[in-house]
Amino acid sequence: MSHSTINNDRQTIEFWFDFGSNYSYLTAMRIEDLAGSIGVDIVWKPFLLGPIFQSFGWESSPFVLQKQKGEYTWKDMERQAHKHGIAWKKPSTFPRRAILPTRVAILGRNEKWIGAFVRATMARNFVEDKDLDTEDAVREVLAAINVNADLIIAQAQSDENKQRLRHATETAANLGIFGAPMFFVGDEMFWGNDRLEDALAYANSQSQ
pLDDT tens digit sequence for 28-64: 999 999 999 999 999 999 999 987 867 656 565 555 5
What average pLDDT does the segment 192-202 reach?
A: 96
Nearest to 4 by CA among 42, 39, 49: 42
C-alpha angle 18-140-52 in degrees, rounded to nearest 5: 15
Residue 115 has pLDDT above 90, yes or no: yes
pLDDT tens digit sequence for 126-141: 999 999 999 999 999 9
Q: Write down the pLDDT at residue 97.
A: 92
Per CATH, domain 30-206 is 3.30.300.30: no
SS3 sequence of 41-76: EEEEEECCHHHHHHHCCCCCCHHHHCHHHHHHHHHH
